[in-house]
Structure 1
C-alpha cells in the first residue's frame, strides 16, 4: 500500500468523486464581456445561497459571481426544507444576478429560467433525459419513473439582486438517497458524471438564457422562455393536487404556465385558476 499524507484523506477518500478544478472552471467560463465574473469553490459550507446573499448584502459582489461547495451541510429547498449529500457527490452552487433592465415584476421567471437552462445543460453534457416539475424541481428518469435529481431556489439579495441556488445529485448511489423518490444522474444512466464539464454546461446554458431574457426586457414569451419551459415541464397535462396555505387544496389538470410563471390549473368545475410558486405548499399528482 502506498504511503500517503493523512490530510489528503478527506479530499481523495472517494476516488469516484474527485474535487472540482477551480482553475479550469475559471479559464472555461470567465471571459471579457461574459456574464460570469468570479468562481469560487469552497470545501464545505452550510448553504451557498446564504453565503452569497450575505456577500451581496455587503455590496462587494459583482453580478455573475458563482459560489460552489463540494459539500453543503444545510442546503435549503423551497419553504426551508433541508437536504444534504456526501462530499463531492453533486453540484451545489449559487449565482448572483442583477437584472437591472428587467422590471422586478418579471423576476419571478428567474428560477424557471434557471430550470430550463440546467435541464438543457445536463441533457447535453450528461446525456440524460431531463424534465422540470413546476416550480423548481429537476427530474430524471430511473427505471421508467420520473424522480427528483435536483432543485432550484431563488432569493432576493437587497433591492437589486437575486441569488439563485442549484443543487444536482450527480453520483449519489441508491443507498445514499435522502428519500427513495430521489435520484441522481448516475442512477439515470448518465454518459458522464464528471462534474467539471457538467457545471460548465449548466453555467453556459444559464448565461445564454439569461442574456436572451434580459434582451427581451424580461418578457418570457418574446425570449422564447415561456414556450421552452412548457415543452420541458412534466407537470403540464397531468392531474395535480395543489396544497395551498390555510388547508385549501385545488385539484385539476395543469394546463399552462402563464406570463407570470404561475401554474394554471383547470378544475372540473371549468375554472382556470393560476397558482404562484410562493402560494403553494405541495404539488402532487392527483
Structure 2
C-alpha cells in the first residue's frame, strides 16, 4: 500500500505582525513539503479572542504571498471551531481527567509570593508558571457544580495524575525528525513536568495544547515543523493525543532567529515585522538569504 502523502502546516496567531522567525518557519515548512511531495496547510490560530485582529490576519496572508508561499485552501480558523474543542474538553471531563480552576492570576501570584517569602523557590512548569498552587482540585463535586451554575469564571485543568494513569503503561513519546538525514530519534515524554496544565481557558473552551492537537489530527498533519521554543509543549501534546486516541505526527523543532541581544524574535518585544522590512525595500530573496541554513 502506498505511503500517505505528507501534510505540513504553518499556524500563526493573528495577534501581531509576522517577523523573520515566522518567515523562517513558514519557508522551512514549504521547502520540506515540496521536497517530500506533500501538502502545505495554513491554519489561523485565533482562539485568543482578546488579542486576535482581522487586520493582523490580512497582513499574515499578504506577507506569506509576498514571500511566494502558496497553501492549500481554505485556511482553517480556530475561532470557527469552538464547539469541537468544547466537545473534546467535555469528553475528557466525563472521564474524570479534568477539573475546573476558579483561581485568578492575582490569587495564584499572592500564594506563590507568600510561599517564596522565606527565600524558597516555588516549582514552575517549562513556561515559568507556578505548579501545584491551585487548591481547586480538592473541591467537592457539589462545590464545583454550584460555582459553575453561579456563573463563576473558571479555566479547566488537566488532572495530571489521573491523565497519566489513563494513558496506560505503553511508552509515551514522539519521533524527533531530522530533515537533513530523514532519520529520527525517539524522545520519551514527561508530561508531569507541566503539572495540572490548563487545557481550557476562562474565555474559550480550549487552550493552545488542546486546539493544536485536535486540529493536527483532524487535518491529517503528518509532520509538525515548528520552533524549538515549542519543544517542551510536545510533552503535553503526545499525552493529549494518547488520551483522545489521536495519531502522533513526527516533530521537528527548528532553530530560532535571534535578535542582536540573543533573544528570540517575538511580537511581545516588538521585533521588526516583515511588513516593515518590505517597506524598507527588502526583497523576498534577501529574506531567504538572511535566514540561510535555517530554511535549507
TM score, norm. by length of structure 2: 0.22
> Which of the two has greater helix per residue?
2
With CA pairs under 8 Å and 6+ residues apart, which has the higher RCO, 1 or 2?
2
Larger radius of gyration: 2
The structure that is strand-richer by fraction is 1
